[in-house]
Amino acid sequence: REHFGGFTAWDADISAFVEPGKPAIVYVGVTDRADDISYASGYAFHPIGGILREVQLLVVPNDYINRFYVQTDFENDFKEAKLSLTVAKSKAKGNSKIKFQLYDAGGKAVLNQPQTFDLANNGEGKFSVTVANPILWNQEQPYLYTLKAELISAGKSEEKIEQKIGFRKVVVDGKRVLVNGQPIKLRGGCRHDMHPLLGRSTNRYYDSLDVAMAKKANLNFIRTSHYPPSQDFLEFADKYGIYVQEETAICFVNDWREGVYKKLGETSNDPAFTSRYLGQLSEMIDHDRNHAAVIMWSIGNESDYGINFQKEYEFVKSVDLSRPVSWSWPATAFKENKRCFDIAVAHYPDYKGKDEENFGLAIKNMEHESLPLLSDEWAHVACYNTTLLKADPNVKDFWGQSLDLMWANRFDVPGNLGGAIWGMTDETFHLKDTVTGYGPWGFIDVWRREKTEFWNTKKAYSPIRVLKTKFE
Residue type, 120: A
Phi and psi angles of residue 163, each rounded to the nearest 5 degrees, phi first: -140, 125
The closest of 444, 375, 379, 446 to 44, measured between CA atoms, is 446
Neighbour tally for 33: CB within 10 Å: 16
| Rg for the chain, CA atoms, rounded | 23
Query: Residue 245: which residues within 8 A CB-CB, separation 6 or more?
Result: 188, 221, 222, 223, 224, 294, 295, 296, 297, 298, 326, 374, 376, 420
Nearest to 258 by CA among 438, 7, 385: 438
Residue 259: what pLDDT? 87
DSSP state of 394: T
Q: DSSP readout, 442-453?
A: SSB-TT--B-HH
Confidence of residue 388 (pLDDT cuts 50, 70, 90): very high
* Predicted pLDDT of residue 263: 85
Judged on CB neighbours under 10 Å (0-12, 13-18, 19+), 471 is: exposed
Q: How far apart are the first and last CA of the chain?
A: 73
Q: The pTM is what?
A: 0.94
Q: What are the tens digits of pLDDT across the range 154-196? A: 889 999 999 999 999 999 999 999 999 999 999 999 999 999 8
* pLDDT at residue 467, rounded to an integer: 82
CB 446 within 8 A of CB 195: yes
Determine contact, residues 456/402, Cβ cutoff 8 Å.
no
The type of residue at 424 is M
Residue 92 confidence (pLDDT) above 70 = no
> Looking at residue 466, what is its pLDDT?
84
Query: Taking residues 389-400, what's their average pLDDT?
Result: 90
Using pLDDT thresholds of 50, 70 and 90, give the confidence band for residue 324.
Answer: very high
Contacting residues for 464 by C-beta, under 8 A, at least 6 apart: none
Q: What average pLDDT is seen over the chain? A: 93
CA 89/CA 368 separation, integer angstroms: 44
What count of other Cβ atoms lies within 10 Å of the Cβ of residue 155? 7
Output DSSP code: residue 301: B
Question: Contact, 337 vs 306, CB < 8 A?
Answer: no
Cβ atoms of 315 and 282 within 8 Å: the answer is yes
Whether 444 and 424 have beta carbons less than 8 Å apart is answered as yes
Q: Where are the alpha helices (DSSP H) in 362-451?
A: 386-391, 395-411
Query: Is the separation of the CB atoms in 344 and 296 below 8 Å?
Result: no
Q: What is the pLDDT of residue 77?
A: 86
Residue 55 to residue 42: CA distance in whole angstroms: 25
The residue among 115, 147, 149, 143 whose CA lies nearest residue 129 is 115
Backbone angles phi and psi of 270, in degrees to 5: -95, 115
